[in-house]
Amino acid sequence: MTDFQEQLIDLQTRVAYQEDTLEQLNQVITQQDADITQLKQQIRILAQRLEDSLRTQGQGGEQIQDERPPHY
């Protein structure tokens, strides 16, 4: 094999590995995006629950801070 052919094979091998790495990175990024979207939704739900809880307490609802733990 000539030096040129060896260099060409080396470059083709590198490109193949880079394409594989890019595909793997794309899959990771796609999964992370889905995870972030899910976490944002959970934060919105928790924030709404906290807001509702604070609003209920402000309207004379049950005071969670004064509630005795169940082991008493």
Mean pLDDT of 19-35: 98
What is the percent of the chain with per-residue pLDDT over 90, rounded to a whole number? Answer: 71
Please give the Cα distance from 66 to 46 (Å, whole number).
Answer: 22
DSSP designation for 52: H
Measuring CA to CA, how many Å separate 65 from each of 45, 52, 53? 22, 16, 12
Look up the pTM and report it: 0.63
DSSP code, position 61: -
| 35/22 Cα distance (integer angstroms) | 20
Q: In the numeric block, which tokens belong to residue 13? A: 């091998």
